[in-house]
Structures are given as C-alpha cells and as structure tokens.
Structure 1
Amino acid sequence: MKTSHRLDLAIQKLYTAFHSNALHPECCKQCAVGNILDNTDAWKHLSDNHGSLQLNYVGLVHQNFGRTFNGYSPSELLQIEATFLRGCGYSLPLGHNGTKPKNPRSKVVFFEGLSATVALLCALDGIDNIMDYSNLFESINDQPRNQLDDVRS
C-alpha cells in the first residue's frame, strides 16, 4: 500500500514515542501532535484549549494562509490530538474536572489512543486503515478468504 510521506513520518514518530515511553497525553510536547511535530509545543497556540477542535485567531490565520506543520494543517492537527485524547479515554477539551483514564500512563491506554489516531491519519490521506487486520478473519465456505502474505503486501 502506498502511503504519503507525512503519514510515514507521523507513524514513525508515534511508534518511537510509544516504544520509548515518550507519550504523555496531557503534555503538549509528548502527546500525539507534540510527537508528530518533533516534541515542540508551538501547535498549542492554534487553539485555546487542549483537545478542542476549534481554531483560535492564530490557528485560523495559519489555516487560511495554507500553512502546514510537518504536512498537516492546523485543523488536521487539532483533529489528530482530539482523536488521540478520546482514544485514550479523556473527555474533551482536556480539563481538571473532565474524565480521564484510571492509569493515563498505561501502554494499553496509549495503544487505544494510537490505534484511533492511526485510523484518522489514514483517513486524512484517503487510504485504508493500515492497522485493520479484520480481513484476515474473513472466510468463504469456511476457508480463509485471504492468506497472511496477501495482507502484508
């Protein structure tokens, strides 16, 4: 499957963050977007609230000028972060009184958040979710419809 350069880089950065314990949903430098943007937090100025989908004035200016950050527009970055946070079990926008997972540093929580995030990243690029292996379990007349090698290519 052919993927875009921005998707390849984003997945590499999220993979590295996951396996090096460098994810933290509540930190603007270590969340999904923070990692995609090389552990910077400048993106937080695109919105007034962490996890919000609403661009503020600064975000709208960048969006209207067609500015991208590592290939993603300001509105896409907010979608990515909101998807990650929701996938991790947070209510949005992030706040002290909102719900959050019992163990926000759990690998299971991170995996759920990243699974939702990768699905969105693929959708933004108009490709099938690369983490969807459901076709492995499809069958015709009790025989596998696809072979494992067919799915990996």
Structure 2
Amino acid sequence: MKTPQRLEEAIKKLYLAYHDNELHPECCKSCAVGNILDRTDSWQHLSDHHGSLKLNYLGNVHQMLNRRFNGYTPQELLHVEATFLSACGYQLPFKRYHKRPENPQDKEVLFNGLCAVITLLCQLDNVTNVMDYTKLFEVKNNQPKYTLTY
C-alpha cells in the first residue's frame, strides 16, 4: 500500500523536528501541528484554546469551505494537536494552571506525543500504523514469522 503524500510529509517533518530539538508542545510554531504546517502559527486561529477540539468561527468557515492546510482539514489539525498534548501529559485545553509535564521538552515526553500523533495520522489516512512493531515479534513454529531486511 502506498503511503499518502500528506502522511509521508507530516511524519518527515515531525521526525526532523524531534531530532533537531525543534519540537515544543507549548509553542504554536514548534508543536506537532506547527511543525506539520512548516513551523507556522496561523493554525492557532482555528480555535479559541490550545488543545481544544472545538473550532471557532474562523475554523468553522475553513472547515465548511473544505480548506486544507498541507492536506489536513481544520478539524483534523485540532485533533492532531489535542492528541499530541494529551499524550505529552497535558490537561486539555491547555491553560497555564492546568496539569502539564514537569519538563515539556523531555525526549520521552515528546516521543510519547509523537507516537500518539503518528498513530492518529495513520488512522486518518486508513493506513496501517507505521509505529506498530508487534509484527516483529510474531512467531510461527518457534521461528520469527517475518524477517528484518537491512
């Protein structure tokens, strides 16, 4: 099965952001959606609260017009961001006094967020989760069912 272009591009951008230390859940340009949208923050105007799944007036207009941002609808973008924040340990919607991770840029915190986002992105495109490694551990007749290729 061929991977949709928007999924491939999103994963590539998130991968680079993670390894270049340019991923930060509290910055609209450096969060999951900010990176998917080429490190821009214009997406934040689609909702009134960071991490909310509710589109505001502007977000609803874009959604009704079927506008897409790097292939994603406004509602999909809000879902991606809420998934990322939640998996990183944030109470949603994100506000100063709500629960948040002690160190939001901890690699383990960010990795948990990325795994959840990539799982969601695959679901949105009806693609098998690229992060699913369980097949590597399947056995048949006491032998690995699949082999790794290098």
Give TM-score scaled by structure 1 length: 0.94
Is 1:68 aligned to residue 73 of structure 2?
no
Q: For structure 1, which runs of at least 5 residues remain unmatched after alignment?
A: none
- Give the structure 2 partner of residue 17 of structure 1: 17
RMSD: 1.1
Deviations 1:83-140 (A, max 9, x none): 1111111111001121111211111111110000000001100001001111111112
Q: Which runs of 5 or more structure 2 residues have no equivalent in the other structure? A: none
Equivalent residue letter for 2:66: G
SS in 2 for 1:120: helix
CA distance in 2, matches of 1:103, 1:42: 26
The answer to which of 110-119 and 140-149 deviates more is: 140-149
Q: Distance in 2 between matches of 1:111 and 1:54?
A: 25
**Paired positions, count:** 150
Measure, in 2, the Cα distance between the counterparts of 1:5 and 1:31: 21
Aligned to 1:130: 130
Q: Which runs of 4+ in 1 moved over 6 A?
A: none
Query: SS at 1:27's partner residue?
Result: coil
TM-score, normalization by structure 2: 0.96
Q: Secondary structure at the match of 2:51?
A: coil
Q: Percent identity of the aligned residues?
A: 60
2:136 is paired with a residue whose SS is: helix
The residue aligned with 1:148 is 148
Equivalent runs, 1:3-152 vs 2, <5 Å = 3-149=3-149
Q: Distance in 2 between matches of 1:144 and 1:39?
A: 42
SS at match of 2:40: coil
| Larger mean Cα displacement after TM superposition, 133-142 or 123-132 | 133-142
What is the letter of the counterpart of residue 9 of structure 1?
A: E
